[in-house]
Amino acid sequence: MSSPPGRRARLSPPGTSRLSSEAREDLRQRLLGLIEGSRVMIFSKSYCPHSTRVKEFFSSLGIEYNILELDQIDDGAKVQEVLSEITNQKTVPNIFVNKVHVGGCDRTLQAHQSGLLQKLLQEDAAYDFDLIVIGGGSGGLSCAKEAAILGKKVLVLDFVVPSPQGTSWGLGGTCVNVGCIPKKLMHQAALLGQALRDSRKFGWDYSQQVKHNWETMTEAIQNYIGSLNWGYRLSLRENSVTYVNSYGEFVEPHKIKVQQLEKGSPGKLKVVAKSTEGSETIEGVYNTVLLAIGRDSCTRKIGLEKIGVKINEKSGKILVNDVEQTSVPHVYAIGDILEGKLELTPVAIQAGKLLARRLFGGRLEKCDYINVPTVVFTPLEYGCCGLSEEKAMEVYKKENLEVYHTFFWPLEWTVAGRDNNTCYAKIICNKLDNDRVIGFHVLGPNAGEITQGFAVAMKCGLTKQLLDNTIGIHPTCGEVFTTLEITKSSGLDITQKGC
């Protein structure tokens, strides 16, 4: 049986010496057309031994393929340039299988050994979409956008049962609509109030009484959130992602039902509450009831039990492996809904992007859930990265740790006369690993901004010696980490006395 020959693809890119934005986009669409229309598409150079090897490999499997020899067409260099923008790969061979970017020769052979290549070759094109995302939060949008960039047909379903009744959410999930964004903007409003009180000590004199207007603040914040919602919708549209403001529910393994729920209007509820500490009973009629007990996972009404996806029955969170795969191989979960993972927007965004690349781009990178920085935007901010002191002792044992800590007094607080023993800095070091910093904690102004930079340093293997060798920026809060001297084990007092 003779091996099937590779068919030569034709491409006539614009013949200009420098591609205009219009010509570049036209060439990009031509390349995507070749990719879309080929079971296997190989961008090659006729003299490249790696390209020759991969063509012989597909021939040996009896698989037909299309070839575009970049050294034998006009403007091949420009084609390769635009191709690298699509794939983030600058070399040839550059291979797509059923519209999925597999990579070069080595990655293709690895995909064959792992069974991924066979799976891609057998993909069933009968489905309406390559990827359906239920939930238009940060992670879902990130995954949807990345999959679309990789040439996949994507649907995003997003509908949130509003709370309070009569309100509505736009795209963006908890973070944008009721979480990180409005939280920090309201935090800023509180900081401005504190700054007004401090300003008199710095010489500012205002006779007019300063008042805060809640409605003005909420309207301004809501307008900003609305602009973000619109931006997300526009981004999906620009990437050809189908968006439906409806509730998604599994009905069978590869089938999802879409029943927009009724938005309704504010209703009234009769509420009876009984105190847990006595016999007192409270009763009343309200149109909004706030249960300040945290967030619940909305997993029990989307049909997961119909297809066999396992969840934690108590929390409703979804159980996944190290590549975010559920107990059902073709269903994945990312973001706050995961059991045992961090509930943070940037984590969901990173996980969603990398998931799409693994599914459709032939990539292998997994989301790193270690040393993720975070901050609590309370009136006095708290930032951390890595392990808590308690967790570090559990993992490494107390005798193998050294904890450095101190109170500190921000310069901005001195003239205002605010407490000089409120802000706190602490690092936890592993003595068995060159005093590597495994825990970073700061309580003070702008803790989020401080923590972000130190998180990068921890990713690079920050040690106590490196901190000591770093020259601080004076006067700042962050410089305190370059001068830490007192250890907890010494028992020395860390309170600030005097000026």
Which residues have a catalytic role annotated?
A: 474
| Full 3-state SS string of the chain | CCCCCCEECCCCCCCCCCCCHHHHHHHHHHHHHHHHCCCEEEEECCCCHHHHHHHHHHHHCCCCCEEEEHHHCCCHHHHHHHHHHHHCCCCCCEEEECCEEEECHHHHHHHHHHCHHHHHHCCCCCCCCCEEEECCEHHHHHHHHHHHHCCCCEEEECCCCCCCCCCCCCCEHHHHHCCHHHHHHHHHHHHHHHHHHHHHHHCCCCCCCCCCCHHHHHHHHHHHHHHHHHHHHHHHHHCCCEEECCCCEEEECCEEECCCCCCCCCCCEEEEEECCCCCCEEEEEECCCCCCCCCCCCCCCCCHHHHCCCECCCCCCECCCCCCECCCCCCECCHHHECCCCCCHHHHHHHHHHHHHHHHCCCCCCCCCCCCCEEECCCCCEEEEECCHHHHHHHHCHHHEEEEEEEECCHHHHHHCCCCCCEEEEEEEEHHHCCEEEEEEEECCCHHHHHHHHHHHHHCCCEHHHHHHCCCCCCCCHHHHHCCCCEHHHCCCCCCCCC
Q: Please give the backbone phi and psi of residue 380, each rounded to the nearest 5 degrees, phi first.
A: -105, 115
Tell me the β-bridge partners of 439. Answer: 386, 428
How far is the C-alpha of 235 from the C-alpha of 237, rounded, in Å?
Answer: 5
- Please tell me the number of Cα atoms within 13 Å of 285 on its side-chain side: 3
How far is the C-alpha of 105 from the C-alpha of 461, rounded, in Å?
Answer: 34
Q: How many residues does the chain have?
A: 499
How far is the C-alpha of 429 from the C-alpha of 441, rounded, in Å?
Answer: 12
Task: Report CA dihedral (118, 121, 125, 126) to the nearest 10 degrees.
Answer: -40
Peptide bond into 445 cis (omega under 30): no
> In whole angstroms, how far apart are CA 24 and each of 19, 21, 146, 202, 237?
6, 5, 20, 57, 20
